């Protein structure tokens, strides 16, 4: 990694252990969090607003529940009744909602302490943000959940809330070297989240590692998702072909490295082919997202167009041409594709693909390409970015574990197996496992 790295993720499970052993740790953890934000955020630029120290300390002292006293950052497309919510747009500068988004309410009910809001691309689309990658300050942190991924990677908070409509959780997690989890569509509530596409918008979670993010997911969903052990001998399907775009040699090497680690740890890798119907989903995603975004952002487009970025304006200009019949046809294709998902998961625990076409891009002019994410978002599949591999250019490069809808526990367990396998292999090297390491 670059020498100007601010990369220092903190395990939320480790912090919870500290609190369990000594309740006085709550206050120290909050103070450490605020100090870390003050120290690094002027450079990383992950936060849009930070809660007042007195308010955060009071919340931590009064908190009850499994997350009691744990600091959490929330992407600035989710309403918060005590912090400004601007959705990444000057249209909403200074806007103060009267109520919390449902996911924020869940965090607070379970003892989570909201320490601030994180930078988002404008309305969670693809416009670049000011956030820098803590692993290399000259690179993008991805998008649209750039601030949430960067806040966790820089050790500002152990957990952060993001979202995914195309690839806005998995890709930033890959770029920033942390775990990112996009649950099955509909598992976590999106009420109070600024809508972009109601068929795809999904709450995303960020944490240092897979076990951390699985624990947070269990608390927020009420489902048994925490990883206590890992399944023996999981089988991963690795595509031989990609109908959207081929991964870079760098991403391909990272995938091969993960596959070798899996096999060395007792898992199996099976080569599969993605059917031609997967190619149809690329256009279907664009059609459905465009039609819905043109309606969801109708007021902003009709009355505040001058305050929209050229990237979003151009997208909505094109979206206006999508008629209802074309949209309906795309939804039929989506439903048919969901019925064919069993073909992909026949005899395998989960799919294994690159999380992104490559490492994070240099500069802040692009948030990267969601090619390896959007079809799985359309299909509603749970997806996990597994960190731990270093690419040829020295930055993190993740692999993505994909599960069958509503089999999130199995998906997270499989991702934990991959993470553990990568870590075991990395133990043979002085630092993060390199994508070009010798065969295990």
Residue 438: the pLDDT is: 41
12-221 and 235-276+339-434: same fold?
A: yes
Angstrom CA distances, 9 to 34, 207, 312, 334, stand at 15, 8, 32, 37
Look at domain 12-221 and name its CATH class.
alpha beta
Domains of the chain, residue spans: 12-221, 235-276+339-434, 278-331
Which positions are catalytic?
A: 75, 144, 168
| Nearest C-alpha neighbor of 370 from the set 212, 213, 173, 237 | 173
Residue 433: the pLDDT is: 64
Residue 89: the pLDDT is: 98
Burial 345-357, CB ≥16 within 10 A → b, else e: beebbbbbbbbbb
CB contact set of 421 (below 8 Å; sequence gap of 6+): 258, 261, 262, 264, 265, 267
What is the residue whose two structure tokens read 């007042």?
52
Asked if the model's pLDDT at residue 305 lies above 90, the reply is yes
> Where do the H-state alpha helices sit in 81-184?
102-109, 146-153, 170-176
Residue 430: the pLDDT is: 37
Name the pLDDT band for 229 (thresholds 50, 70, 90).
Answer: confident
Three-class SS state of 438: coil
Q: pLDDT tens digits for 134-153?
A: 999 999 999 999 999 999 99
H helix count then E strand count, the chain: 15, 15
Evaluate the CA torsion angle 298, 300, 304, 306 in order and state its sign: negative
Q: pLDDT tens digits for 5-40?
A: 899 999 999 999 999 999 999 999 999 999 999 999
Residue 429: the pLDDT is: 44
Angstrom CA distances, 38 to 46, 51, 71, stand at 11, 12, 15
Name the pLDDT band for 427 (thresholds 50, 70, 90).
Answer: confident
* % helix, strand, coil for the chain, step of 5: 40, 15, 45
**Residue 9 to residue 69: CA distance in whole angstroms:** 18
Q: Average model confidence (pLDDT) for the chain?
A: 95
Tell me the mean pLDDT in the region 373-381: 98
Residue 230: the pLDDT is: 76
Burial of 82 per CB tally in 10 Å (0-12, 13-18, 19+): middle
**Residue 65 to residue 82: CA distance in whole angstroms:** 21
Q: pLDDT tens digits for 50-102?
A: 999 999 999 999 999 999 999 999 999 999 999 999 999 999 999 999 999 99
Name the pLDDT band for 268 (thresholds 50, 70, 90).
Answer: very high
Tell me the mean pLDDT in the region 194-218: 98
Query: Does the predicted TM-score (pTM) go above 0.95?
Result: yes
Look at domain 235-276+339-434 and name its CATH class.
alpha beta
Share of the chain above pLDDT 90, in %: 93
Evaluate the CA torsion angle 265, 266, 267, 268 in order and state its sign: positive
**Residue 64 to residue 88: CA distance in whole angstroms:** 31
Residue 231: the pLDDT is: 77
Name the pLDDT band for 431 (thresholds 50, 70, 90).
Answer: very low
């Amino acid at each position: 990694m670059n020498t100007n790295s601010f990369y220092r993720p903190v395990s939320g499970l480790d912090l919870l252990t500290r609190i369990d052993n000594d309740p006085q740790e709550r206050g120290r953890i909050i103070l450490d969090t605020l100090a870390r934000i003050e120290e690094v955020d002027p450079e990383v630029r992950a936060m849009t607003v930070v809660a007042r120290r007195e308010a955060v300390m009071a919340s931590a002292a009064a908190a009850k529940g499994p997350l009691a006293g744990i600091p959490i950052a929330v992407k600035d497309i989710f309403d918060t009744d005590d912090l400004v919510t601007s959705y990444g747009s000057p249209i909403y500068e200074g806007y103060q909602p009267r109520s919390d988004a449902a996911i924020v309410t869940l965090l607070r009910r379970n003892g989570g302490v909201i320490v601030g809001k994180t930078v988002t691309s404008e309305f969670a689309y693809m416009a670049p943000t000011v956030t820098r990658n803590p692993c290399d300050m000259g690179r993008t942190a991805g998008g649209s959940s750039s601030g949430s991924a960067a806040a966790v990677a820089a050790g500002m908070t152990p957990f952060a809330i993001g979202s995914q409509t195309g690839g806005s959780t998995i890709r930033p997690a890959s770029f920033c070297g942390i775990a990112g989890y996009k649950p099955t569509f509909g598992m976590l509530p999106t009420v109070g989240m600024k809508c972009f596409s109601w068929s795809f918008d999904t709450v995303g979670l960020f944490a240092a590692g897979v076990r951390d993010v699985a624990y947070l997911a269990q608390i927020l969903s009420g489902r048994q998702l925490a990883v206590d052990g890992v399944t023996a001998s999981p089988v991963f399907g690795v595509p031989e072909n990609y109908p959207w775009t081929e991964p870079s040699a760098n991403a391909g090497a990272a995938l091969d490295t993960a596959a070798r680690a899996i096999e060395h740890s007792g898992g199996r890798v099976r080569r599969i082919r993605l059917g031609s119907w997967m190619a149809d989903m690329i256009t279907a995603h664009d059609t459905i997202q465009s039609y819905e975004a043109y309606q969801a952002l109708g007021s902003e487009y009709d009355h505040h167009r001058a305050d929209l970025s050229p990237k979003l304006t151009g997208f909505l200009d094109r979206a206006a041409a999508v008629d209802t019949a074309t949209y309906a046809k795309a939804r039929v294709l989506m439903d048919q594709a969901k019925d064919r998902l069993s073909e992909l998961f026949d005899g395998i625990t989960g799919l294994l693909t690159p999380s992104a076409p490559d490492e994070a891009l240099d500069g802040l002019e692009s948030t990267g390409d969601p090619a390896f994410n959007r079809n799985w978002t359309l299909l509603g599949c749970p997806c996990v970015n597994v960190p731990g591999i270093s690419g040829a250019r020295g930055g993190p490069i993740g692999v993505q574990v994909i599960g069958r809808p509503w089999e999130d526990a199995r998906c997270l367990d499989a991702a934990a197996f991959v993470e553990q396998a990568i870590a075991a292999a990395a133990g043979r090297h002085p630092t993060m496992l390199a994508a070009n390491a010798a065969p295990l």
